[in-house]
Amino acid sequence: MMQGRTEIDEKVTLRVLIADDHEMVLDMFAMYLTRAAGMEVTTAKSLDEAVDIIVAEGPFDVVLLDLNMPGMNGVIGLKRAIKQNGGNPVAIITGTPTPRMLDEIMNAGSSGIVLKTTAARSLANAIRFMHSGEQYMPLELMRGSAQAASRNVRNGNLSDKEMTVLSYLAEGKQNKEIANELQLAEPTVKMHVTAICRKLGAQNRTQAVIMARDLGLV
Amino acid sequence: MMQGRTEIDEKVTLRVLIADDHEMVLDMFAMYLTRAAGMEVTTAKSLDEAVDIIVAEGPFDVVLLDLNMPGMNGVIGLKRAIKQNGGNPVAIITGTPTPRMLDEIMNAGSSGIVLKTTAARSLANAIRFMHSGEQYMPLELMRGSAQAASRNVRNGNLSDKEMTVLSYLAEGKQNKEIANELQLAEPTVKMHVTAICRKLGAQNRTQAVIMARDLGLV
DNA sequence: ATGTAAACCATACCATGGTATGTATACCCC
DNA sequence: GGGGTATACATACCATGGTATGGTTTACAT
C-alpha cells in the first residue's frame, strides 16, 4: 500500500471501466482519460451494468467504482466486481471516505482508493500505478488510517470507538441496541454519545447525526 | 424558469468561473468546457477564493458554485457571490438537492441549478442558456417543486403541520423548542412527532430525520 | 346532518436520553 | 515513573421523548 515514483509504461493503451451514477462525472472521466491519457474508457451507471459489461467484454485492465452508486451496498458490490474482473485491479473512487470505509475497502481486496478531490492528472497516474499491481492510496488517507493525524482535521477529534458508536447513532439506534451490538454496557455507550455530542457541538444525538452527515463522517 | 430550445450564440467565448472543493471535478469541468465548448474557464476551491477572483478580475459571464464547498453556508455564500458578480448569472451545481434547498436557492436570486447527474454536454448548454438571462432548472426538479401533487407521492402523506414540525425535527430541535417557535403546546408537538414517526416508519425522532433526509423531504 | 379527518390541548405514565461523579485498566510517550 | 488519552463500568439523578387516553374545534364532503 504505497504511493511513490515507479517506472510505468505509458505506451500501453489501458482498457478502463468507470462506473458512477453521476453521468457528468462519468463523461468527464472518460473524456480526460481518453484525450489526455490515451486510455480506452468504458462507462457504466450502476454496479449491475458494470458487472454485465465485464462479463460481456472480459476483464478490464483497471475498474473504477463509485462507492455510492446503485447496487454497491458498500463493499459487497466491490467484492462482486473484484470476483468478475479476473484478478485485475478494481478500485474505489469516492469523495469523502470515512476511516471505517477505508478499512473495509482495502480489506475487501480493492486495489486502491482514488479521491475525487485528487487533481485530475493524478488519476491517470493512479490507474497506471494500480495496473502495475500496486495498491494506491492518497497520502492524506494513509495518515488517516494511521489514526490521529488527518482525522483531526475532518472529524472533530472523534476516537475510533466514538466513530464506531457514531455510525450506529447515524442509523437511529438506541443506546441499549448499540450496547448489545458492540458488547458494551449502556453507561459506556452513553459516555461515548455524550463525548460525540460535545466534540461535534451538538445538543443531542439527533443533532449529532445531522452534523455527522453534513460533515460526511458517516 | 424554463428549459427549452433557444437560439444561443455559440460563437461568444464565455468567461466562466467554477468553484468546487473537489479538485478533480474542477479539473474536468474546466477541461470539458474549454476543449469541447470553447469557454474560458477559471476555477476556485472555496467561496472565498471565488469571490476574491471575481473582485480581482471583474464579473464573469457565468459563475458556478458547488453548494457544499467551504464558505458557502447554504445560500448565504450564494448571495455573496451574486452581489459580487455585477448582475451576471450565478448558478449552483450540486448532486442531490432537497426541495427545501431548491426553494432557497432560487429565492436567493440564483440563475439556476445544475445537477451533477446531468450529462456533460448539457452543462455547456445550460451555461449558455443562463448567460442569455434565463433561469435554468432540470425538468426532474421542476416536478418536485410543484408542491402538493408530487409531495403526496414522496412524503408518505405527511400533513402540512407535520411537514412543518418535521423541518424543525430535522434541525435537531427539542419538542419544547418546537412548541415555543410554533406557538403550540408541547403535547401537540409530541403528537405530531409520533404521527411523523408512524408515517415514515421510524422508531424515534432521529430515525425520522434520517429517513426524511434520505427521502429528500427536508 | 352526519361522518371523517386534521389540528389542538390536557393528564398521566414509563422508557429513553443526557449529565455528573467516581473508579479502573491499558497504552503510549517523554 | 509520571502524564496523557482512550476505554470501560457503576450509580444516581433529572430532563426529554414516546405512548396512551380522552376531549374540543374546525373544515370538508357525502
**Domains detected in chain A:** 15-137 (3.40.50.2300), 142-214 (1.10.10.10)
Q: CB of residue A176 closer than 7 A to nucleic acid strand C?
A: yes
Among A18-32, A186-200, B14-28, B114-128, the range scoring the smallest mean pLDDT is: B114-128
Residue B31: CB less than 7 A from any atom in strand C: no
Q: Average pLDDT, whole number, for chain A? A: 79
pLDDT at A12: 65
What residues of chain B lie within 8 A of the CB of A96, using their CB?
Answer: none
Q: Which of A27, A95, A116 sits opposite B120 (nearest CB)?
A: A27
Answer yes or no: are the C-beta atoms of B35 and B81 closer than 8 Å: no
pLDDT band for B136, please (50, 70, 90 cuts).
confident
Mutate to test the interface with A, among B28, B117, B178 (most CBs of A within 10 A): B28
What's the CA gap between B187 and A76, in Å, rounded?
Answer: 44
Using CB atoms, which residue from A24, A123, A209 is nearest to B120? A24
Q: Could you tell me which residue, B148 or B76, shows the higher pLDDT?
A: B76
Name the residues in A179-208 having a C-beta closer than 7 Å to nucleic acid strand C: 187, 190-191, 193-194, 197-198, 203-206
Separation between the CA of A174 and the C1’ of D12 (whole angstroms): 21
Q: Is the pLDDT of residue B93 over 60?
A: yes
pLDDT at A85: 93
Nearest nt to the CA of B202 via C1' is: D18
A118 with B206: Cβ contact below 8 A: no
Nucleotide closest to B177 measured between CA and C1'? D16
- Predicted confidence band at B60 (pLDDT cuts at 50, 70, 90)? very high
| Residue pLDDT, tens place only, A59-105 | 999 999 998 888 888 788 899 999 999 889 999 998 767 656 776 78
Tell me: pLDDT of B100 over 80: no
pLDDT digits (tens, 9 = 90+) for A133-179: 767 776 555 443 333 333 333 445 678 888 888 888 888 899 998 88
| Minimum-distance CB partner of B25 among A116, A169, A206 | A116
Q: What pLDDT does residue B215 have? A: 72
- Assessment of whether the complete model's pTM goes beyond 0.85: no
Q: What percent of chain A has pLDDT over 70?
A: 79
Query: B68-78 in b/e burial notation, b at 16+ Cβ within 10 A?
Result: bbebbeebebb
Q: What percentage of chain A carries pLDDT values higher than 90?
A: 21
The pLDDT of residue A119: 66
Query: What grid cell was written down for B84?
Result: 459580487
What is the structure's pLDDT at A23? 82
Residue B47 has pLDDT above 90, yes or no: yes
Q: Which residues of B touch A213 (CB under 8 A)?
A: 210, 213
Query: Looking at residue A164, what is its pLDDT?
Result: 85
What nine digits make up the cell of B124?
455547456
**Closest nucleotide to residue A173 (Cα to C1')?**
C16
Q: How confident is the model at residue B144 (pLDDT cuts 50, 70, 90)?
A: very low
Confidence bin at B64 (pLDDT 50/70/90):
very high
Lowest mean pLDDT among A70-79, A92-101, B49-58, B121-130: A92-101
pLDDT at A153: 36
As beta bridge partners, residue A93 has A66, A114
- How many contacts (CB atoms, under 8 Å) link A and B? 98
Q: Which of A117, A170, A203 sits opposite B172 (nearest CB)?
A: A203
pLDDT reading at A5 higher than 90: no
CB contact under 8 A, B23 and A207: no
Task: Give alpha helix (H) positions in chain B.
Answer: 23-35, 47-57, 75-84, 99-107, 120-131, 139-145, 148-154, 160-169, 175-182, 186-200, 205-215
pLDDT computed for residue A35 by the predictor: 84
* CA B187 to C1' D23, whole Å: 14
Stated length of chain A? 218
